[in-house]
Homo-oligomer: A and B are copies of this chain.
């Protein structure tokens, strides 16, 4: 498999982390996430959204959107339950991640750490408030639970872990989130875990 990748992207890290846990070898092609002028040439035939990660399967078929790639790779394994409601709840958290979490926590981290033209401090602070909303929702849910769905480690945990475990890089103060911190340590301990820098 060939992964159009970015070393700094949590969305790409989700895919690398799952592939590592599954022991699946893959090639990486680094794509610039700041200078994007070559995106149509690079990804136009592969991904309508022109984003990374984009995965090209061994038979040449492309697949895009980090959380759809997780579902594809986890299909038929314990990381994506077969039971209908549990499966839908995994998807619930994957959609939560892309709608209510990533646009705040990942975007603020990108602005703070990587952007050449970040917005004003006021705009960053306003966006950060949305991120705390997502963290509050996770903290409420994880209090008294070991993992997000069905007390088992699933791709919902991989998807939410990717940007939550580096939220501090975007200036998020994590000391009040005890249930999240304990959950992060449980994900750290999963066999095949690799750091985002790997």
Chain A: residues with CB nearer than 8 A to chain B? 48-50, 57, 61, 63-69, 71-72, 75-76, 84-85, 87-89, 91-92, 94-96, 98-100, 102-103, 137-138, 140-141
Contacts and interface: CB of A to CB of B under 8 A. Distances in A.
Contacts of A48: 96, 137-138, 140-141
B67 A91 contact: yes
B71 A88 contact: yes
Given A71-B88, A88-B72, A91-B71, A65 B140 contact: no
Contact of A49 (B57, B64, B85, B137): B137
Contacts of A67: 91, 95
A85 B100 contact: no
A48 B137 CA distance: 5
Contacts of A96: 48-49, 64-65
Contacts of A64: 92, 96
B88 A63 contact: yes
